[in-house]
Amino acid sequence: MSGNSWRKTALVMSVLAVCGICGCENRSSGDEDRTEYIYGDSIEEDHGGGLLGIRLGVPDSCDLTFDTGHSKLSEISLLDDDIQVANVDRAYTVSFDRMRMDTSRIQDMVESVFDKNQGIYCRDDGDENMTKEEIQKEIDLIEVYRQQALEEGQQDVAEIYESDIAETKRRMKEAPDSYTPVREYTTNKIYIGQHDGEQYSLWISGDDTADASGRVSIVYEPAGDQEQKYLADVEDAVMTETAGQNYFGGDIEDQENKCGIDENTAEHEAQAFLDRMGISGMAKCGSQAVVRSWLDSGFEIIKAEKNGYMFEFGIQIGGVDTAYIDPTGVDNLKNKNGYVMYEGDRISVCVDDSGVFNVRAILSTDTDSFVREKVDLLSWEDMVNKADDNIAEYYEKYPTDYSEVRFNNVKFMYVPCIQDGENLVYIPAWVLTQSENNDISEEHGTYDNIVQLVYINAVDGSCVDIIETAKCLETWYGTDPETGAGTKTISK
């Protein structure tokens, strides 16, 4: 994958994180029918055995201390005053395949979002394949930054921007004049087309070679003059950004949403868009207002307004979330050879009066491949007894720089693991995390930063090997031990 593709993939993941990713919420009774349809179980199912949390003896809260064994830790503890277990009655192991892309699937995706009668165009991914028009927009923006630096007396910074402009102009000489009409549908391309009279782009990253499967990144966004129309409304604005309301914290909370459609209508549009793209098996995880902000050349927000809705979708199994976790702050999930990236599948869809205008997706699971098998779980007490030894052994294998591990959250979820050395399976697990609050900025909201992470298999009490699973899932990002530079995702 090209460096540009890696940057875009990182952008997708960061946007999904900032958008306020959360656990899939319990839905209204009208939405439970959809859960029944997709997963075969309703969220409030009860088959005579009592809800899972009650049957397993899960307490509302816990204050536990585990054996440290040979881990060299002085303490391993778990303190949680609100243990989270979905209101379900059954649990499963679910075998699955990784997402697979082929030319037919890519073509269906592309043609589902564009008007074929208006033509569909494309170019290869990568800065080296940008058109003259795209490069000129880049030059214009760099020039704004250069002028800003000069006004602030930062001559050295202005000279750096001037050098960037010169280098970008050199690329202009060899750049194509325009996108070319699409002839074949492959990944790592940017597709351009019309939808309801406006121009949009669709970027699909992944491996479409024979017998290949893995992670797929998707970005759908405006590619015409939409931004210029917005910029014309606000003096001194040089760019616009959209983000979820959660990113802005209380600054925007009381503002009225200017979107002309209600949230329920917008949600149906978001779901219909995913259905057209052939993306199935995803449940709504949360929603919030979309905020569009106008920024000046110093990246200061001049204006911000609510206008639309953002919906997050993730995978559920029988009404229980699959894990979508950022482990990049966990020190024992990284080493000189690489680190574990985001685990899980997540989609963010933004909708306003014009319809769906922005989609970010990270997909690694083929939900159509699911094969479920009902399993019995350890009681809470038995799980804790097993974990007493197994957590210490896990930290002996994967040492942390922390002297104490103090988990402050436990949640019942499905997590991926490897069985029989090669088979990928979602298993029910107790996800233990230690989080520390990190402010993104002084103006914006606070988000949990996970610094310790352990998955305890709810069937047998063992600890899932997150690193080995990540290598199989292609969520392990390899780095050069000499330079630290990214190489590629290691897979089986």
Measure the CA–CA gap between 71 and 387, rounded to whole angstroms: 14
pLDDT of residue 45: 39
Nearest to 395 by CA among 406, 405, 385: 405
pLDDT of residue 438: 57
C-alpha 437: how far from chain center: 19
pLDDT of residue 126: 80
| Residues 337-355 pLDDT 10s | 899 987 789 999 999 999 9
Q: Report the SS3 class of residue 287.
A: strand
| Residues 359-409 pLDDT 10s | 999 998 999 999 999 999 999 999 999 999 999 999 999 999 999 999 999
Measure the CA–CA gap between 450 and 435, rounded to whole angstroms: 4
pLDDT of residue 482: 56
pLDDT of residue 263: 97
Ranges of residues in the chain whose predicted pLDDT is under 50:
1-11, 13-15, 17-23, 25-49, 210-212, 439-446, 483, 488-492
Measure the CA–CA gap between 423 and 87, rounded to whole angstroms: 29
Single-letter amino acid code for the residue at 17: A
Measure the CA–CA gap between 190 and 121, rounded to whole angstroms: 8
Residues 6+ apart with CB under 8 A from 99: 206, 213, 214, 215, 216, 363, 364, 365, 366
Nearest to 276 by CA among 111, 121, 115: 111
pLDDT of residue 39: 36
Measure the CA–CA gap between 352 and 450, rounded to whole angstroms: 33
pLDDT of residue 65: 98
pLDDT of residue 474: 77
pLDDT of residue 33: 35
> Around 286, how many Cα atoms within 13 Å sit in the side-chain half-sphere?
17
Three-class HEC string of 209-231: CCCCCCCEEEEEEECCCHHHHHH
Quote the pTM value. 0.81
pLDDT of residue 48: 39
